[in-house]
Amino acid sequence: MKLLLSLCIVICALQTSSSANIRLLTIPLVTAQDEKTPPPPCSAEEFSQFDFWVGEWTATWSDTIHGYNTVTKPYDRCVILENFDAHPGGQLKGMSVSTYSIPHKKWKQTWVDNSGAYLDFEGGMVADSMILSRTAIGKDGNKFQQRMVWYNITHEAFDWNWQNSRDDGKTWKTAWQIRYSRK
């Protein structure tokens, strides 16, 4: 089809124009047809791995509702934006920004909150769980590992664990477990 269209332009131009104009008419047409529309940004499959988290959530731990989490996917669906608010009167309020880093082939997340905390995580899907981890420095100056694990993931609910390891990830101790239920 492309060749036929270019040939028609050449024949029509031969009847009315000089050969210099023929080149000007056909080259842009052929070039425009050879260009492919690039895929939308963040269309790689990995960018959908955190889609289960998008929505309005009730956060329960110790069998009591303690907080709410609103998770959106703004910026052309390239970013996961979390806003966590402890139950009214609760102490913790924070937010995270997550995106899939193509060069690193990992998810990257930054968490900040009303205690002045700044935490940076990276990771990805491992089997049916999302795991993001980081190296932290304790009050004693020693390094240790922290991670968040999203698991038992369904459309309506999932479990989340905050875990620490003091032996380079050989064993993990759960410090906080939350059950998320969709509002």
Asked if the structure places residue 155 within a domain, the reply is yes
Query: Beta-carbon neighbour count of residue 119 at 10 Å?
Result: 16
Domain, as residue range, for 25? 2-34
* pTM of the shown model: 0.78
Residue 8 lies in a domain: yes
Are residues 93 and 142 both part of a single domain? Answer: yes
- Sorting pLDDT into bands at 50, 70 and 90, what band is 27? very low
Predicted pLDDT of residue 38: 87
Question: In this model, does residue 14 exceed pLDDT 50?
Answer: no
In three-state secondary structure terms, 60 is strand
Predicted confidence (pLDDT) per residue in 73-120, tens digit: 999 999 999 999 987 677 899 999 999 999 999 999 999 999 999 999
| Predicted confidence (pLDDT) per residue in 29-78, tens digit | 444 455 788 888 899 999 999 999 999 999 999 888 789 999 999 999 99
What is the CATH classification number for the domain harbouring 122? 2.40.128
Smallest CA-to-CA distance from 183 within 71, 56, 50 is with 56
Judgement on whether residues 141 and 53 belong to the same structural domain of the protein = yes
31 touches 137 (CB < 8 A): no
